[in-house]
Amino acid sequence: MPFFTSNQYTTVSYEYYGARDALGRCTIAVACVGRDIMPTSDRGSISVVRPTGWHDSAIYERAHLIAHCLTGEDANWENLISGTYDLNGEMVRYENMVADYIKETGNHVLYRVTPIFEGNNLLASGVLMEAYSVEDSGAGICFCIFIHNVEGDYDIDYATGDYELSDDSALKDATYVVNKNKYKIHKSDCSSVTDMSDANKIYYYGTYDEVVADLIGKGKNYSNCGSCHPENG
Ligand SMILES: [Zn+2]
């Protein structure tokens, strides 16, 4: 059950983004989402925003507190945190559920996302997502969940956002990683690997020729990543 109080229930759409704190961290985003404030145009660029704990070309994405699909926010510094691919992927499931419900019913959903920072950490430990459909008293949408800001294979220092491969990670000594959806071969340090769901990863610890021989032996049509060029060794 979300922690909303009954005096917060309204059928008038609004959105609110709390001011960042003294360390520059996002604090809260609240909205009563109705069709009238949902976006009518495509998402704009958000790359100008550098949330606290941000590292370029890393395991992070700029994660909206309130998704673009709900309130149409783009480069809003009060609404973007450094979030792992795992966190963002998990949030999207709930965001799409809410967006679909509103589009189908025309009802309003009271919606609040609160990033949780321990102490002076610059990286959030996770986000609390709360949602409640107003007109039907929560019959359509009612959830309160905490999503952890973690990424498989990596240990994260939440004070700074620095990260490193876990000692027990299968990726630690891997030379190549193959995506078993597309049988595309990547070098283990390719940025696409962090974006890949763990269930789709096949780890290899030998040479490129050994990877290819294994895939051919399995009768798979493989391809090489056009970004990391594993065929170049
Ligand atoms: Zn690659």
| Ligand 1 centroid from CA 71, angstroms | 33
User: Does the structure show a pLDDT above 80 at 173?
Assistant: yes
Q: Which residues surround the ion ligand 1 when the cut-off is CB under 5 Å?
A: 186, 190, 192, 225, 227-228
Pick the closest to residue 143 from 18, 9, 34, 3 (CA basis).
3
Residue 148: per-residue pLDDT: 98
pLDDT of 57 > 70? The answer is no
Domains of the chain: 6-156 (3.40.570.10), 170-232 (no CATH)
Q: What is the pLDDT of residues 122-165, one digit of tens each?
A: 999 999 999 999 999 999 999 999 999 999 889 999 999 999 98
What percentage of the chain exceeds 90 in pLDDT?
A: 85
pLDDT at 191: 86
pLDDT in tens, 180-192: 998 999 999 998 8
Per-residue confidence (pLDDT) for residue 199, from 0 to 100: 84
Ligand 1 center to 156 CA (angstroms): 23
Residues 6+ apart with CB under 8 A from 147: 87, 90, 91, 126, 127, 129
- The rounded Å distance from CA 151 to ligand 1 centre is 18
